[in-house]
Amino acid sequence: MRSEGIRKQTMETPRWIDEKEASQIMGVAVQTLRNWRFQGTGPPYFKIGRSVRYRLNEILAFMEERRVGPLE
């Protein structure tokens, strides 16, 4: 499955993604990520010049922390 491949890759070497890819993975608009950064919420990020980058493993962890429902 795709998610297993992503998880395996993130454990080996951090994968850096931009806000567009982060928004696609999370299923939120790019503007939502920008709002979260402005508010000081959302997943951790890095600023390199004018560019914003996220670590894929931190995006996945951010989503896992917000899981609602019974544990399997």
SS3 40: coil
Tell me the sheet residues that pair with 53: 18, 46
Residues 6+ apart with CB under 8 A from 30: 19, 20, 23
Q: What is the mean pLDDT of residues 1-23?
A: 75
Which regions of the chain does DSSP assign to beta strands (E)? 16-18, 46-48, 51-55
- Determine the pLDDT at residue 4: 64
- Determine the pLDDT at residue 71: 72
pLDDT (tens digit, 9 = 90+) per residue, 18-68?
999 999 999 999 999 999 999 999 999 999 999 999 999 999 999 999 999
Query: Under CATH, what is the fold of the domain 2-65?
Result: Arc Repressor Mutant, subunit A (1.10.10)
